[in-house]
Structure 1
Amino acid sequence: MDSGFGSEVMQSPNIYCYSVLTENYQHILALVFAVKEVNENIQLLPDITVGFEIFDTYLESKLTYRAMMQLISPRNRLLPNYDCGIHGIPKAIIEGLEAVISHQLTTALGFYKIPQLLFSFDPVRMDRNQVCSFYQMVPNDTRQHRGILQLLQYFKWTWIGLLAVDNVNLEWFMQYMFPEFSKNGICFAFMESFSITGYLEEKGEFMTWILGIYNKIMNSKATVLVFYGDDPKMLILRWLMAKSQMVNTTQKAKDKVWILTAQADLKSYGRKEQSWKIQDFHGAISVGVHSNELKGFQEFLQSRNLACDKEDGFIREFWSHAFDCVIPDSVFGKIGGDNCTGEEMIESLPRNYLPISVTGHSYSIYNAVYSVAHALHAMYSSKQKVMKGGREKIQSWQLHHFLKRVSFNNSAGDEISFQDNGEIVGKFDIINWVTFPNQSFIRVKVGSQDPQAPPDQTLKINEKSIVWHNSFNQAQPLSMCNDNCHPSYRKKKKEGEPFCCYHCIPCPEGEISDKNDIDYCFQCPADKHPNKDQNLCIPKIVTFLTYEEPLGTALAIGAVSFSLITVLMLGTFMKHHNTPIVKANNRNITYILLITLLFCFLCALLFIGRPQKVTCLLRQTIFGIIFSVALSSVLAKTITVVLAFMATEPGSRMRKWVGKGLANAIVLFCSLIQIGLCTVWLTTSPPFPDVDMHSVTDEIVLECNEGSGTLFYCVLGYMGFLGLASFSVAFLSRKLPDTFNEAKFITFSILVFCSVWLSFVPAYLSSKGKYMVAVEIFSVLTSSAALLSFIFFPKWYIIVLKSELNNREQLMWRNELRK
C-alpha cells in the first residue's frame, strides 16, 4: 500500500519540499484496523494470518518504480521476479490515492496479474481489454461527473467555470462529459487546464500565466467553479489563489462556490501553511467517496499512543507534526523545540489534522482489505489450492475469480460487491467544507448521490445543513449567464453566445409563462385565461345574458313595456273597430299586425336567460316567422292602399283584386315561405346549446349555436326582402291623396326597420358573447317599436285624443280641403 503520508508541497515555482500529511495517517490506521479485525475473526480466515507492507512513494516516479520492484522481490533484497522464502509476491496490492501513481503501478504490474485495488480513476487509461487485474474501490469518474451534473441541476447553476489538472483530463472531459453537460442545460464560462510543467524555468512567464487564470476566474460572472483534480493539484490551486491575491492588488477577489471532485481534498499541511489561506474554499461542496462509521474505529484511533505503539513506523512522524513537538533522538538527543511528552491526546487535535470520523478513502481502504479477505475465504472454502513444497500456496492470479464475485456486508452495514467491469457498486457523499480563521476545517455530510437508486431518488440533499460562503449571507448562490426570465417572460437566445445566455422578452398577448426561464410561452386551456400579469391561468367566468344583470333587466323591461303598449293599442282598436279610422285599410290585417308585433316583443324574452335546448330551437325560428308575418301584413296593407287608389279610376280592372282576400293571401303566402325555410333549418341543422370558450378572453359564454349559418342568414335575408318590398311599394304610394292613406307612415316605419337591420349585421358580427344576444334583442325591439309607432300611434292618437275627427264626414271634408 502507498500510504500517501508524505506529500509534495510547492513553496514556489521552482522549489519543492516534502511535508507530512497528518490527515493521511487515518488511511494507515484504517488498514491496520481492518487487518487486525480480519486476523481476530476466526470464522473468516482460520489458521491464516494476513500481513501487509506499506511503501511511501512521495509522489515521485523513481520511488514508485522502486517500490514496485520491491513488491516482486524477496524481502530486503532487490531481486525482481525471484520468489523465495515465505515472503513472496503479494497476493493483492492496495494502491495509493493519486491517479499518477496508480497509473504507473497498473501499467507495470499488469503483466503479473496481481489483483490491484485502486482508489483513483484515470478514465484515459481504462481499457478493460488490456488491463483486467484491477478493481475500482470508488465509483468511476463518469459517475462522479454525473453526480456533479445532478448537483448543478439541483441548485440551478447553469453558468460555471471548469479548472482541470492537465490537458489530458480536459480533453477527456470535452470528449465524453461536455456533451452531457450541455445536453442538460449547463454552459461553461471558461475551461482552463493548468499544470506547472514548462513554467518552472521562467518565473515571470509563470506568474503572468497564473495571474491570467486568476483574472479570468475573478472577472467571470460564473459564481460556481468546478475543480477537476487530485490532492497535489488542489495544493497547487491553493498556492495559485494565495499568490495571485498577493501579487494582484488591483483585482479584488470575488467569492466563489467551489465544486470539488472526490480526489481533491482540502489538506492540512501543518503550521507552515498559515500564509495559504483556505477561506476561499469556505462553503465548497465536493462529491466525495461514500463513507460510514466503523464500529470500534474511533476508539482504536484515539487509543494510539506514542509510548505504547512502538511497532508503528509512522506514529513518530505523525506525533511530532501534529502536536508540533520534538521527539528526542537516541543518538543526538534533543534537537530543538519542545519535547513530546507522549501524554498528548489525539482527540485534542483539530479535526483537519486527524479526522475522527472515517473519511471516504479510509473507508475504501477498510473495504479493500475485507474484499481480499473474503476472496481468500472463498478460495479456501472451495479448496482451489496449489500445493508446493508440502505447504498450501496460492498464486495471486487465482484470486481474480473470487474477487469478482465478492459480496458481503461490512461492519457498518453497507453491502460491498463489484460489477462485471471490476468497479465497486457504491455511491457518493455530498460534502460541505466549512473552514475557520485558524486554518482548520471540517467536513459536513449534507447529502448523497446513489447511481443505483430510482431516477427521482438519485440525489438527496439537506439544504438546511449547507454552509455557504459568508458573502452570500447564507442564501443559496446563483450562477447564471444572466438573470432568470421571470414568469410572463420567455427566453430569446443571444446571437454568438452560449445557449445559457439569452434575452428575456414578454409573452405575446393571450399567452403566459408560469416558470422561470421558459423557452416558449403557451396558451391557457380552453376553460382558463391569462391573468393580468400573464403568469397564471385563472378559470374563466361562465356567462350568459341573465335577467339579474342591468343589461338583461333593461331589455326585459323594454320588451314587457312595448308588449303592454301593443296590448293597449290592440284593445283600443278593437273597442273602436267600427270607426272609420279602424276600418280603413283592412281592419283584419291591422289586428294581425298588432298581434304579431305583440309576439315580436314577447319573443325577445326567449333570448334572455340560460340557453336551453327548447329555447335555442324556438327563439330564432319563432322570431323569424313572427317578423315575417308582421312584414307580410305591412306589405299587404301597402299593396291594398295602392290597389284601392288604382281601383277608383274609371274602367279599372283592379276592382276585382281589392278586398280582404288579396291581403290575406299575401300574408299567408309570404309567411309560408319563411315557415318553409325554418322547417328546413330545424330538420337539417337545428340550433343547439353550445359553449363558446374563445370569443371572449376571460369568459365561457353559454350560447345558442345557430347550427346552419347559411339558413340563419337566409331567414334574416328573407325578412330583409319583405322589408325592402314593403318600403318600395310604400315609398311609391306615399303621395296618394286620401285621408286613409297609410303609405307615408309605412314608409317611415319600414325605413327605420331597414336601417335597424342593416346596422344589425355588422354590429352582430363585431360583438362577442352575451352582447351578440343583446344586439339582436335591441334590433327586435327597435324595429318592432318602429312599426308600432309610425303605423299605429297616429291612429291611436286620433281615436283617443281627437275622437271628433274619427267620422266619415269630417275626414271626407279634410280630404276635400287637402285637394
Structure 2
Amino acid sequence: RALDLEHVKLFINPVLSGSSHIHFKPLNILFSCFCYRIYIQNLQQLQVIRFVVAEINGNPDILPNVTLGFQAYDSCDVLQLDLKGALQAVTGYDRIIPNYRCAGDVSLSSIIGPSISTHSILLSHILRLFSYPLISHYATSPLLSNKREFPSFFRTVPSDIFQSKGLADLLLHLGWTWVGLLAVDTDYGQQGIQLVQQGIVSAGACVAFSENILTSHPDRNAPHIVKVMKVSTAKVVVIFANGIDLIPILEEMIKQNITRILIASDAWSISTMASLKTFSAHLVGTIGIALNSGTIPGLREFLNTIHPSMTLGRYLIRIFWELTFSCKFIDDKNQTGYFSNAVKECTGSENLASVQNVYTDVSNLRTTYSVYTAVHAVTKSLEDMKNCKYPQGSCPDIWNFKPWQLLYYLKKVRFKLKDGREVYFDKNGDPPTVYDIVNWHLSPSGDMHHVKVGSYDMAAPPGKVFTINTSAIIWTTGERQVPISVCSQSCPPGFWKAARKGEPVCCFQCVPCPQGEITNQTDSFTCIKCLWDMWPNSEKTTCQPKPVEYLSYEDPLGTILSSTSVISSLVPVAILKIFIKFKTTPIVKANNYSLSCLLLVSLSFCFLCSLVFIGYPQPVNCLLRQVTFGMVFAICVSCILAKTIMVVFAFMATKPGSNLKKWTNPHVSYVMVFICSLLQFILCITWLSIASPYPEQNIETQPRLIIIQCNEGSPTAFWCMLGYLGLLASISFVVAFLARRLPDSFNEAKFITFSMLAFLSVWVSFIPASVSAQGKYTVAMEIFAILASSWALVVCMFANKCFIILSARPTPLATAELTAKHRR
C-alpha cells in the first residue's frame, strides 16, 4: 500500500525513503491495518516528494546521470508501524532482516520522518547503529538536539526550545501574566509545556493551572480539564497538543459553555482537524506559533495531476477522490467505508483544479515546505559528496557509499532554496529558527483562516526577533483591545507590588509607597527613595525639589512681626523724649533719670533685635542674633534689678544709724548694671568660642520641607544664656515683691513686681511653645516672646509714669515728697 510521509526512504538510483501518517490510528493498533480517518494534508506532502524528485531528476545540473527515487510507508500514526517501516527501508524488501541490506543494487541515502517526536526518538536510537541519516519534517522535541544520543538525526523544523521561548515571549508581550497550561501526555507535550512554564515563570509571570491531556482516555480527560478552566480566573490557555487530541476538549468547552483565548503550539496552530465549523465560536481569535511558511512554484499545477488511475498511492488517491467529490468508485467493494450509499459514481473525469481544500491550498505551505526542504537537503548532500575533490581516492563512490559517508556531508550542507531562504544544520542538527505568529479568523462563509500577524526569527537583528501587529488580531472575546489575563490588576505608579502570603508572585496587592519614596513605573516591586533635597508629588510618581522654608520679610507672618518690631521700638524712644523733656520734674528725678534713660534705650533695642531673626539665615545673622538678644535683654533686666535694689537701699537708708546711705549713690547702680551685663557677655563670648551658631538645612523636622534655620551650636549655652536672664528677672521680682509694701506715696517696687511677673510668664510659656513649634514658627515664637516681654516691661514700668507726667501736674505735697525722696 502507498505510504504517507511518516517514512519516506530516499534512495540513490533509484529510491529515496520516508515515513508519515496519511491515516490516523487504526481501530485496533496492534492488528488492524485499516486507518479510520485520512489526513489529507499528509497526502499533499507525499505529492511534494513526487514533485521534488521529478524536479531534481529533470534538472541536468543537479546530480547528472544520477536518478533519485523514493518509497513511502503509511504508519497510521502508530509507533509499531513506524518502526516496521523504518526497518523495512533499511533491509530493502517487505520483510525485516536486522543488520542486513538485501537491496544491494541501490543505496539508501536517508529516511525522512516520522513527524512525532516520540517515534523519532525510537527510530533514531535504532538507525544510529547503521549511521543512516534520519531527517524529520515535524519532530520538535528538544531531546533530539542531543548529538551524543542522536548523532544521525536532523530536522527541518526548529526545536521546541525555541517554540516554547517564542510562546513565552508572546504571552509576556501581550501582558498576560496569569495563564493556564494544557499538554498532551507525550514527549512533545510534556517537554514543550515545561519549557513554556520555565520561560514565563523566569520572566515573572505565573501559571494558574497545568493539566495533562490523557491520550489513554477516550475523552482525553476533557471534563476535568474544562472544569479546571472554568473555575480558574485565567483567560488565556496555552495548549501543547495535536489537533486530534484537542477535539474532545473543544467539545467539552461547548458543553460547559465556556470560552478562553487559546494559544496554539505548532502542532495544531494551522490544524484543519480542529477548525470545524462546530468549534468556530471557540476557536476564532486563537493565536498560534506556526512553522515559517513558504511557496513552491509550480506545485499547485502538479498537485492537480493526480488521478485515481495512478499506480503510486492509488489506494489513498481513490479515498481522497471520493471524499473530495462525494462519489463512489463502483469497481471498489466499498473498501474505503466512507460512502455506503453514494449519491453518484466517481468517473475519474472530475476536475480537481476547481476544488479549493487543504490539499490544493499552496498559499501558506508549512509542514509541506519542511518536507520540500528535507528532500533538497539530502539532494545537496549527495551532490557535495559526488563533487568530492579529495586526493588519493578517498572520496566516497556515489554508486556505493556508506551511510556514515553521506552523514558527514549532511552535517556540513548549506544552500539556498528558490525563494532565497538559506538552509543549514547547526551543531545540534537544527535548522535556523523562524516561526510565524498566526491568528484564526472566521470568514463570512464560515471557514477558518490562519492569518499571519507576526514573526519570531532568531536570526533577525536585535530588537526585531519578535514582531507582532496586535491591531490585526481578532480576539475570542470580541474586544478591540488586548484582553487582560492577570491574577491581580497592575499597580499604577506610586504603588508597589506586595506578594500575598501563600500565593504566586503574580497574585499581589498594591501598596502605596512609603513616605519619601516613589515609583515611576507600573508594577514596580520596590519604591525608589528620593534624594535628600527632593520630595514626592501627591501621586508619588516623581521627585520634586523640596520647598525651602524660613521666616522671610515677604512672608505675611514675617511682615507683621517686623512691622510690629519697628513700630514698637519707637515707643521707648517716645518715652525717652518725654523723660528728657520733663527731666526736671520730681517724678523723673525720683526714678533715677540716668538709669531710666539707659533702660528705655535698651528696651528700644530689645524690640529691634527681633529683626535679626527675620530673613534668610546668613552665617553672620546666626552668629549674632541670640548673642544680641541675650546682651540687650541682660542690660535691660540689669537696669531693672539695679532700680529695684536702689529702691530698697533708699528706704532702708532712712532708718537711724543705717550704713546703707553710701550705697544709694547712683554710681552703685551703674556698677551693678555693668557687672550683671559683663557676666552675660562672658557667657556669650564663651559660647561663640566653643560652639558658635551656624546656618543649616533641616530635613528631619518636616521631611517634605527644607527648613533653613540657625543651629545654635550648643543648646546648653543657649539655655544657660536664657536661664541667666531668668535668674536676673527672678532676683529682681523677689526683691521688688518684698519691697512692694514699703511706706511711700509712690513706691516703684510695685511696678517692678508686675513687670518681672509678666516678663517671667512670657518666657516660661516660651519654653513649651518653642519645643512644640516647627520650622519658621519656632523663630516666630521667639520673636513673639521678645516683643511680648519687651512690651510687658514698657507698659508696667513706664505707662503709669507717662500718664502722671502728661495728664496732670503733681500736687505741692506730692512734689515735696518726691523732691525729698530724690534728695535722700
TM-score range, shorter chain: 0.7 to 0.9
- Structure 2 SS opposite 1:19: coil
Instruction: Measure, in 2, the Cα distance between the counterparts of 1:718 and 1:43.
Output: 116
Query: Residue 106 of structure 2 aligns with which residue?
Result: 87
Greater shift after overlay, 752-761 or 666-675?
666-675
Whether 1:442 and 2:449 are equivalent positions in the alignment is yes
> SS where residue 24 of structure 2 aligns?
strand
CA deviation vs aligned residue, 1:230-258 (integer Å, no higher than 9, x gap) = x2xx3222233215634xxxx4x222111
1:462 is matched with: 469
2:436 is matched with which residue? 429
- Encode CA deviations 1:372-427: one digit per residue, 9 max, x unaligned: 44544554555359779986643221244444444555554555444433333424
Using the alignment, how far apart are the partners of 1:509 and 1:704 within structure 2? 26
In the alignment, what sits opposite 2:272?
Answer: 268
| Counterpart for residue 203 of structure 1 | none
Distance 1:45 1:147 in 2: 39
The match for 1:159 is 178
> Which shifted more, 305-314 or 546-555?
305-314
Residue 528 of structure 1: how far off its partner (Å): 4.2
The aligned runs of 1:216-615 (5 Å cut-off) are: 216-229=228-241, 231=242, 234-243=243-252, 245-246=254-255, 251=256, 253-269=257-273, 274=276, 276-289=278-291, 291=292, 293-294=294-295, 297=296, 300-301=299-300, 304-306=303-305, 313=313, 316=317, 320=321, 323-324=324-325, 326=327, 336=344, 343-345=351-353, 349=356, 355-380=361-386, 382-384=388-390, 393-408=400-415, 410-436=417-443, 438=445, 440-450=447-457, 459-469=466-476, 471-485=477-491, 491-504=497-510, 517-519=523-525, 524-532=530-538, 539-615=545-621
Question: Closer, same or farther in 2 for the Cα pair 1:389/1:97, shift >3 Å?
Answer: closer
CA contact (8 A) 1:585 1:740 kept: no
| Structure 1 residues 723 and 183: alpha-carbon distance in aligned structure 2, compared to 1, 3 A threshold | farther
Q: How far apart are residue 633 of structure 1 and its match?
A: 2.7
Cα pair distance change 1:770/1:167, threshold 3 Å: farther
Quick check: 1:262–1:286 contact (8 Å CA) kept in 2? yes
Per-residue deviation, 1:227: 1.0
Confirm or deny: 8 A CA contact 1:387 1:393 kept in the other structure.
no
1:65 aligned residue: 83
Which amino acid is the alignment partner of residue 153 of structure 1? L
Query: In the aligned structure 2, how far is the partner of 1:650 from the partner of 1:382?
Result: 148
AA aligned opposite 1:8: F
2-structure distance, mates of 1:807, 1:112: 148
Amino acid at match of 1:6: I
Alignment partners' CA distance in 1, 2:518 and 2:811: 72
CA displacement, residues 110-152 of structure 1 (integer Å, 9 cap, x when unaligned): 2112222333233467654332221343333233323322333
Question: Which residue number corresponds to residue 790 of structure 1?
Answer: 796
Amino acid in structure 2 at the alignment position of 1:74: G
Q: Residues 152 and 582 from structure 1, CA distance in 2 versus in 1: closer, same or farther, beyond 3 angstroms?
A: farther
Q: 1:667 aligns with which of 655, 659, 673?
A: 673
Per the alignment, residue 14 of structure 2 pairs with none
Counterpart of 1:8 in structure 2 is 24
- Specify whether residues 493 and 381 from structure 1 end up closer, same or farther in structure 2 by C-alpha distance, changes over 3 A only: same
Aligned to 1:719: 725
Tell me if 1:74 matches 2:110. Answer: no
* 3-state SS in 1 of match to 2:108: coil
Deviations 1:411-447 (A, max 9, x none): 5455544443333342433332224475532223333
> 1:690 aligned to 2:696?
yes
Describe the shift of the 1:694–1:311 C-alpha distance in structure 2 as closer, same or farther (beyond 3 A). Answer: farther
Shift of 1:12: 14
Q: For residues 532 and 773 of structure 1, what CA distance do their matches in structure 2 show?
A: 28
**Percent identical residues:** 34
Verify the 8 A CA contact 1:114 1:396 in the aligned structure 2: yes
TM-score scaled by length of structure 2? 0.83
Q: Structure 1 regions of 5+ residues with no counterpart?
A: 201-205
Q: Which residue of 1 aligns with 2:207?
A: 188
Q: How many residues align?
A: 791
Measured in 1, the distance between the counterparts of 2:139 and 2:322 equals: 27
Cα shift at 1:551: 1.9
Structure 2 residue matching 1:448: 3-state secondary structure: strand
2:784 corresponds to which letter in structure 1?
F
- Which amino acid letter does the alignment assign opposite residue 305 of structure 2? L
> Retained in 2: the 8 A contact 1:316–1:327?
no
- Please say if 1:148 is aligned against 2:167: yes
- Report deviation, 1:552: 2.2
Distance 1:770 1:275 in 2: 78
Alignment check: 8 A CA contact 2:638 2:728 kept = yes
Deviation at 1:166, TM superposition (A): 0.9
**Distance of aligned partners of 1:735 and 1:775 in 2 relative to their CA distance in 1, 3 Å threshold:** same
For residues 480 and 320 of structure 2, the distance between their equivalents in structure 1, rounded to whole angstroms, comes to: 37
Deviation for aligned residue 1:179: 5.5
Give yes or no for contact 2:92–2:102 (8 Å, CA) kept in 1. Answer: yes
Q: Which amino acid aligns with 1:245?
A: I
Q: Distance in 2 between matches of 1:223 and 1:594?
A: 87
| TM score, norm. by length of structure 1 | 0.84
Contact 2:234 2:485 in 1 (8 A): yes
- Does the 8 Å CA contact 1:23/1:267 hold for their aligned counterparts? no
Superposition deviation, residue 562 in structure 1: 0.7
Give the superposition deviation at 1:225.
Answer: 1.0
Distance 1:571 1:756, change over 3 A: same
CA gap 1:379/1:299 in 2 versus in 1, 3 angstroms? closer
Question: Retained in 1: the 8 A contact 2:435–2:456?
Answer: yes
2:337 counterpart residue number: none
The answer as to whether partners of 1:638 and 1:726 remain within 8 angstroms in 2 is yes
Query: Aligned AA for 2:173?
Result: Y
Equivalent residues in 2 for 1:758-797, closer than 5 Å:
758-797=764-803
Q: Measure the CA separation in 2 of the matches of 1:627 and 1:322.
A: 116
Question: Alignment partner of 1:594: what SS?
Answer: helix
Report if the CA contact (8 A) 1:286-1:431 is conserved. Answer: yes
| Structure 1 pair 701–391 and aligned structure 2 pair: CA distance change class (3 A) | closer
Question: Which residue identity is paired with 2:157?
Answer: V
Deviation by residue 1:499-538 (Cα, 9 ceiling, x = unmatched): 4334555666666666555555665544444555556655
Q: Structure 2 unaligned segments of length 5 or more: list them.
A: 7-18, 335-341
